[in-house]
Amino acid sequence: MAAADETTRGDVAAAVPPSSRSPVALITAGSAGVGAATARLLARRGYRVVINFSHNTERARKVVGELQQLSCLPAHEIQNEHGNAFLAIRADLGRRDEIGRLVRETIVQMGRLDVVFSNGGWTKFRDMTSIDDNAIDEDWDMCFNINVKSHLWLMQAAKRHLDEAEGAFITTASTAGITPSGSSLAYSVTKAAQIHLVKNLAVMAAPRIREWSDRFSEQAKDAYRQKTKLKCFPTVEDVAEQVLTFAKSRSMTGVNVPLDAGFIV
């Protein structure tokens, strides 16, 4: 656990030899919710995983410990003299320089990068019937920074490494980006922008990098659930399974898949 603990503090340890063949996934906002569920699934499927987190160091370390226990990799690959197969790296997704450092540390520690799950997002609940309550400059600035620009910055920083691995870049958006809904106007508009961003990035990254925007409904109130055709909420495990499908497929790019229990049908 020493190397994982050092990386959690933001330090850089010894590099893993480039000859290591186990694929590597970087998951932002990976210490809870959809991010942690995806990290657990990928660990079970033979991936080495780096989770990014912003504040809760103890929670991130706990997830790293879980991944080590869940991994199907041989023991000598999970932990050896070069480092660990599972790490947590603290970085602020609202800062471009921090995102660049996150990718650099991932490469130093792991030697390669095959999948980026850009899972970060931000919102503040506002009254969706009030224009005035949704015209808050700080909300719009933060939503654009995290829900749109952070994905662009992460893709730019990771592009060379994903290109080498013929890898995948996957983001989490929302049904709020498809139909007027969600926690605020700023959130809904920036999620729509994120979906369009991914389509453009798919063109720019072709032909070696595949990109998707994975959309899932918010776990809101029972009223929302009753509007879905399946009368249920998608689970974080549902999203994780879809991310794995995207990561493995080599014939899809620029695709949006709604995991919304039939809300927009």
What CATH number did the domain enclosing 153 receive?
A: 3.40.50.720
| Best mean pLDDT range from 97-101, 166-170, 215-219 | 97-101
**Is the pLDDT assigned to residue 116 strictly greater than 80?**
yes
- 265 within domain boundaries: no
- 51 within domain boundaries: yes
Range of the domain at 158: 2-259
**Is the pLDDT assigned to residue 240 strictly greater than 50?**
yes
- Number of structural domains found in the chain: 1
Write out the DSSP string of 234-252: PPHHHHHHHHHHHHH-SS-
**pTM score of the predicted model:** 0.78
Q: Which of 28-32, 48-52, 191-195, 250-254 has the lowest mean pLDDT?
A: 250-254
- 159 within domain boundaries: yes
According to the model, what pLDDT value does residue 254 have?
64
According to the model, what pLDDT value does residue 20 have?
56
Q: How confident is the model over 90-106, as pLDDT tens digits?
A: 999 999 999 999 999 99
| Higher pLDDT pick, 207 / 222 | 207
Task: Name all contacts of 189-193 with Cβ < 8 Å and 24+ positions apart.
Answer: 189/143, 190/140, 190/143, 190/144, 190/147, 190/148, 191/147, 193/144, 193/147, 193/148
- 26 within domain boundaries: yes
- 227 within domain boundaries: yes
**Is the pLDDT assigned to residue 115 strictly greater than 50?**
yes
How high does pLDDT run on average in the chain?
82
Q: How confident is the model over 182-206, as pLDDT tens digits?
A: 899 999 999 999 999 998 998 898 8
Residue 163: phi and psi, rounded to 5, are -65, -45
What are the tokens at 72? Answer: 């199907």
- 264 within domain boundaries: no
How far is residue 3's CA from residue 6's CA, in Å, rounded to a whole number? 5
Amino acid letter for position 93: L
